[in-house]
Structure 1
Amino acid sequence: MATMYLVQAFKQIGHRLVADQIQTSKSAEKAVATAERLAPIRAGVIAFSQEVDIETDAYDEPRVLLKLGRLPPGLME
């Protein structure tokens, strides 16, 4: 198993939230720092980790590290 650290930001276009490309990080701390850096220039941002079994391509449930701003309803709740 390996742990992936990811950051997903969203921009506001009209009334819709549009996802940016997901960014990867090398650690939980770097993912949180990236999310905090993006927060002032995006409508919302979420940093999360996810365990993945590379051999079977199986993913565990994501674990939220940080949520800031507006996010799509039901995202990782």
Structure 2
Amino acid sequence: MATMYLVQAFKQVGRKLVADPVQTTKTAEKAMATAERLAPTRAGVIAFSQEVDVETDAYDEPRILLKLGDLPPGLME
């Protein structure tokens, strides 16, 4: 198993939130720092980690590290 650290930011386009490309980082600390850096210029940002079994391509449930701003309803709940 390997741990992936990801950051997903969202822009406000009219009444919709549009996702930016997902960014990967090497640590939880870097994921949270990236989310905090993006937050002032985005409607919302979420940093999360996810365990992945590279042999079977199986993913565990994501673990939220940090949520900032407005996010799509039901995202990772």
Q: What residue in structure 1 maps to residue 61 of structure 2?
A: 61
The residue matched to 1:74 in structure 2 has which SS?
Answer: coil
Query: What's the RMSD between the two structures over aligned residues?
Result: 0.2
Q: What residue in structure 1 maps to residue 20 of structure 2?
A: 20
Q: What residue in structure 2 maps to residue 46 of structure 1?
A: 46
- The TM-score, its normalising length taken from structure 2, stands at 1.00
Q: Distance in 2 between matches of 1:26 and 1:32?
A: 11
1:36 matches 2:32? no
The residue matched to 1:67 in structure 2 has which SS?
Answer: strand
Name the count of aligned residue pairs: 77
Q: Deviations over 1:1-53 (max 9, x none)?
A: 00000000000000000000000000000000000000000000000000000
The one-letter amino acid paired with 1:44 is G
Structure 1 runs of 4+ aligned residues shifted over 4 Å read: none
Indicate the percent of aligned positions where both proteins have the same amino acid: 84
Q: Distance in 2 between matches of 1:6 and 1:45?
A: 11
Q: Which runs of 5+ in 1 are unaligned?
A: none
Q: Which runs of 5+ in 2 are unaligned?
A: none
